[in-house]
Amino acid sequence: MSPSAVRAYEHSAIHDENGQVIEVEQVLPRALAPEEMPGVIEEFRHAAALAKQAGFDGVELHAANGYLPDQFLQDGSNHRTDAYGGSLENRARFLFEVLDAIGSVWDAGQIGVRLSPGSSYGTVSDSDPHATFGYVARRLDGYGLAYLHMVEPRVRGNDDVDAAVSAVSAKDLRRVFKGTLIAAGGFTADSAHRMIEAGDADLVAFGRLFISNPDLPERLRVGAPLNRYDRSTFYGGDARGYTDYSFHSEAPVI
């Protein structure tokens, strides 16, 4: 299901039962009917309730990287003409209704939201990302969230690209979002320090380097060399590439 019947990619890479990467054709999603929206939003609320029951400290609404809230938000994937499409306010409606549902379970200070204005993953795109994500960040600022998690334009989809490909960055959202802002996306220790020192973000998140360096904070603290990550092991397979990377005190595996 999706806001509109728009195919994401012609093929998608997945791991089969033997751990081998194969390509499969993506199905054409069906557009959600208006009467289905409450049920889908309830699924998000229920998931948030289960996370609380399981003892988590909080939850993050993944409204980035082509996930359903992101599909609704961006006009390249949302072609609707009803209350959930067209205007900026309508396209953002699904995201904020989901956020309000989660807020019925968790305090706002225990909820984070993730956005990715520069990502094309899932073939999402927007004709005016500055207006779209500026509007969303401005509204999110009134919620008193734990944080806003912003993927920098240095990463598009899952590939490294030049920062200039997108006009929207954490620095832009910082102007309208005054709460805790986390930036993510291809950072090094130096670029993370520069981001924080400039006041463009409060925190910097690492993904791929944290996979390949289980002691990443300590390595960054002492300036130790980093293990290289193996992208071929991402998103499936077995323990290889997840639990076999060495600590700084050990000989590197990769």
Burial of 233 (0-12, 13-18, 19+ CB in 10 A): buried
Q: Point out the catalytic residue in the list 9, 67, 135, 143.
A: 67
Cβ-based neighbours of 54, under 8 Å, separated by 6 or more: none
Nearest to 68 by CA among 21, 32, 109, 15: 32
Query: Any idea which residue has 């005054």 for tokens?
Result: 178
Distances (CA, A) of 144 to 43, 112, 116, 121, 236: 23, 10, 20, 28, 35
Q: Residue 31 gets which letter from DSSP?
A: B
> Which amino acid, one-letter code, is at 156?
R
* E strand map for 10-93: 11-15, 21-25, 59-62
CA quadruple 16, 22, 28, 32: dihedral sign: positive
**Angstrom distance (rounded) from CA 242 to CA 207:** 12
Neighbours of 184 (CB within 10 A): 22
Token code pair at residue 3:
């806001």
Catalytic annotation present for 67: yes
| Positions marked active-site | 67
